[in-house]
A and B are shown apart, each in its own frame.
Chain A
Amino acid sequence: MSSAAPEAVTRAADSLRALGRVGALVGVIAPLTVDELSTRLAWPTTGAADLLLADRYGSEAAVIDETGFHHLTSSTRTLEDVGDVGDVAIGTLEELWRRGVDSREVLLLIDGLSGLTHRSASVLGADVTTLQFNAGRESTPAGVVSVTGGSARLRQVLADQLRRRRRRSLPEVVARSGWSIVVKGFDVEHERVNEALLALANGYVGTSGATLAPNPSQHPWVLATGVYDEDGADTHLLTGPRVFELDGLDTGAGAGAGILQRVLDLRTGVLCELAEGEGGDVVSVRFASLAQPTTSVLRVRCPTGLRVGPALRPPADDSVHDQGRSGTALWIRVAASTGGIAAAATQRRTRGRGRGLVGTSTLDRVAVYASNSDTLPDPATTVDALDRAGSTGFDQLLGQHRRAWARRWEDADIVVEGDDELQLAIRFALFHLMASASDAGEAAVGARGLTGTGYSGHVFWDADVFVLPFLAATHPASARAMLEYRLRRLPAAMNAARAAGRSGARFPWESARTGDDVTPTSARDRSGRIIPILTGQLEEHIVADVSWAACCYVDWSGDDEFALGPGRRILVETARYWASRIHLEPDDSAHINGVIGPDEYHERVDDNAYTNVMARWNLRRAAEADGIDGVDGDEQRHWLELADALVDGYDPDTGIYEQFAGFGRLEPLIIEEVAPRRPIAADLLLGAERVAGAQVIKQADVLLLHHLVPDEVVPGSLEPNLRFYEPRTAHGSSLSPATHASLLARARDFDKALEALRLAARMDLDDLTGSTAGGLHLATMGGLWQALAFGFAGLRPRAGMLHVDPVLPPSWSSLELRVRFRGSKVHLRVEHSYLSIHADRSTAVVVGGTPFSAGPGPLELRRQGPHWEPVT
Chain B
Amino acid sequence: MSKVIAAVDSSAAMRPVLAMGRAVAVALGASLEVLHVVEDENEEVPAVAQATDAPMRTLSGEPIEVLSSVAAEEDVLAVVLGARDSSSGPHPAGHLAMILAGQTTKPLVVVPPGSHPPEQLHTALVAMKGTPGKARVLRRSIEISARAGLEIVVVHVQDEDSIPSFSDQVQHETEAYAQEFFARHLIGAPQMRLELRIGVPAVEVLRAIESTQAELVAVGWPQTDDPNRGAVAREILDRSPIPILLMAAT
Contact = CB atoms under 8 A, between A and B. Distances in A.
Interface of A: 188-190, 192, 216-217, 219, 233, 447, 454-456, 458, 460, 519-520, 523-529, 531, 533, 535, 676-677, 679-681, 683-685, 731-735, 768-771, 773-774
Given A528-B208, A684-B164, A770 B187 contact: no
A709 B111 CA distance: 64
Most buried by B among A529, A731, A774: A774
A820 B131 CA distance: 47
A447 B168 CA distance: 11
B183 interface: yes
Contacts of A529: 211
A524 B184 contact: no
B197 interface: yes
Nearest to B173: A771
Nearest to A735: B168
Given A455-B172, A685-B160, A732 B165 contact: yes
Interface residues of B, number: 35
Contacts of B208: 528
A756 B105 CA distance: 49
B198 A685 contact: yes
Contacts of A731: 165-166
Given A216-B187, A454-B172, A681 B167 contact: yes
B193 interface: yes
Interface in B21-62: none
A233 B175 CA distance: 14
Contacts of A681: 163-167
Nearest to A525: B170
B170 A523 contact: yes
Given A216-B188, A454-B172, A527-B197, A769 B165 contact: yes
Contact of A680 (B165, B171, B196): B165
Which of B163, B171, B174 has the largest number of chain A CB atoms within 10 A? B171
B166 A733 contact: yes
A683 B167 contact: yes
B196 A526 contact: yes
Given A527-B196, A676-B163, 5 more contacts: A528-B153, A531-B170, A684-B167, A732-B166, A770-B180
A188 B180 contact: no
List the 8 shortest-distance A-B pairs measured between CB atoms, nearest first. A528-B195, A681-B167, A526-B196, A523-B171, A520-B171, A769-B166, A679-B165, A189-B184
Interface in B189-235: 193-198, 208, 211-212
B161 interface: yes
6 contacts: A447-B169, A519-B171, A526-B174, A679-B166, A680-B163, A734-B168
Contacts of A774: 176, 179-180
A189 B185 contact: yes
Contacts of A528: 153, 155, 193, 195-196, 208, 211-212
Contacts, number: 116
SS class of chain A's interface: helix, strand, loop or mixed?
A: loop
Given A676-B160, A685-B163, A732-B165, A188 B187 contact: yes
Contacts of B185: 189
Interface in B139-163: 153, 155, 160-161, 163
A523 B165 contact: no
A44 B76 CA distance: 80
B164 A769 contact: yes
Contact of A732 (B167, B188, B194, B196): B167
Nearest to A456: B172
Contacts of B175: 524
Contacts of A233: 171
B165 A768 contact: yes
A458 B166 CA distance: 19
A775 to B, nearest CB: 9
A684 B193 CA distance: 18
A219 B166 contact: no
Contact of A525 (B168, B174, B211): B174
A216 B186 CA distance: 11
A524 B172 CA distance: 10
Contacts of A525: 170, 174
Contacts of A455: 169, 172, 176
Most central of A526, A681, A731, A773 by chain B CB within 10 Å: A526
B134 to A, nearest CB: 13
A677 B163 CA distance: 10
A210 to B, nearest CB: 13
A141 B164 CA distance: 58
A363 to B, nearest CB: 29
A217 to B, nearest CB: 5
Contact of B161 (A189, A216, A676, A771): A676
Contact of A527 (B180, B183, B195): B195
A319 B29 CA distance: 34
Contacts of A768: 165-166
A333 B184 CA distance: 31
Contacts of B170: 523, 525-526, 531, 533
Nearest to A188: B187
A683 B173 CA distance: 13
A296 to B, nearest CB: 25
Contacts of A219: 183
A456 B194 CA distance: 20
Nearest to A777: B168
Residue in A535, A734, A770 with the greatest tally of chain B CB atoms within 10 Å = A770
Nearest to B161: A676
Nearest to B160: A676
A544 B146 CA distance: 49
A768 B166 CA distance: 8
Contacts of B153: 528
Nearest to A509: B169
Contact of A773 (B165, B183, B188): B183
Among A189, A456, A768, the one with the most B-chain Cβ atoms within 10 Å of its Cβ is A189
B177 A771 contact: yes
A526 B167 contact: yes
A434 to B, nearest CB: 23
A189 B172 CA distance: 21
Given A216-B187, A679-B165, A680-B163, A771 B197 contact: no
Contacts of B193: 524, 528
B163 A684 contact: yes
A733 B168 contact: yes
A232 B160 CA distance: 36
Given A683-B167, A684-B164, A768-B165, A773 B174 contact: no
B187 A526 contact: no
Contacts of B160: 676, 685
Interface string B86-124: 000000000000000000000000000000000000000
Contact of B166 (A447, A677, A734): A734
Nearest to B181: A770
B205 to A, nearest CB: 12
Nearest to A192: B183
A684 B169 contact: no
Contact of B171 (A527, A533, A683, A734): A533
Nearest to B193: A528
Nearest to A453: B176
Given A189-B185, A216-B188, A733-B166, A684 B180 contact: no
B187 A535 contact: no
A702 B209 CA distance: 41
Contacts of B171: 233, 519-520, 523, 533, 535
Given A681-B164, A685-B163, A732-B167, A770 B177 contact: yes
Nearest to B198: A684
A217 B167 contact: no
A530 to B, nearest CB: 11
Contacts of B177: 526, 770-771
A217 B169 CA distance: 25
Contacts of A188: 184, 187
A771 B163 contact: no
Contacts of B166: 679, 681, 731-734, 768-771
